[in-house]
């Protein structure tokens, strides 16, 4: 896996990325360490007898994707045929030119299955449950969407075979 900065644009089959990956990772690390500080303070306030875990605060050396970030990438030359778009916490669907949004720009969907055929959503707040917007909770919604796609494919295959028979 190679992490990249924020996508800045695409033209002629080449994607361009901002050089902001290292800063984004550092801010994430700071948030993580802040959460550990809060947990340690809770333990101390409540007199809990828990052993320290110094390895939880150990950060690894920066990988090459942070020290020498990729700023542009020719998708065809790199053999890339699929992109999983992780938009993070700021929802912006302005780039998606389909009729799958309500008047306020929010996705129209039922548990991630969009009103637009072939368009699906994952990671939205309260999509099906509280954890929908979190890595540890999105799997419920991902399974639902994957099951929907599998059933749809079976139906379309059956329909195609019935038409040609």
DSSP-assigned letter for residue 114: E
Closest CA to 102 of 88, 89, 116: 116
pTM check: above 0.85: no
| pLDDT tens-digit readout, 42-78 | 999 999 999 888 899 999 999 999 999 999 999 999 9
Work out whether strand 109-110 and strand 113-114 pair parallel, antiparallel, or are unpaired: antiparallel
* pLDDT value of position 71: 96
Domains in the chain: boundaries: 1-83, 92-165
């Amino acid at each position: 896996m190679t992490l990249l900065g924020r996508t800045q644009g695409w033209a002629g089959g080449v994607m361009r990325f901002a050089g902001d990956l290292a800063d984004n990772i550092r801010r994430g690390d700071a948030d993580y360490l802040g959460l550990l500080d809060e947990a340690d303070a809770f333990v101390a306030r409540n007199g809990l007898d828990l052993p320290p875990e110094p390895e939880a605060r150990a950060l690894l050396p920066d990988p090459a994707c942070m020290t020498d970030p990729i700023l542009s990438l020719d998708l065809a030359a790199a053999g890339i045929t699929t992109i999983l778009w992780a938009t993070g916490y700021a929802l912006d669907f302005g780039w998606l030119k389909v009729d799958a949004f309500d008047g306020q720009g929010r996705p129209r969907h039922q548990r991630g299955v969009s009103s637009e055929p072939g368009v699906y959503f994952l990671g939205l707040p309260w999509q099906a449950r509280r954890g929908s917007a979190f890595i540890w909770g999105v799997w419920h919604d991902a399974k639902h969407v994957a099951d929907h796609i599998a059933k749809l494919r079976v139906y379309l295959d059956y329909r195609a075979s019935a038409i040609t028979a």
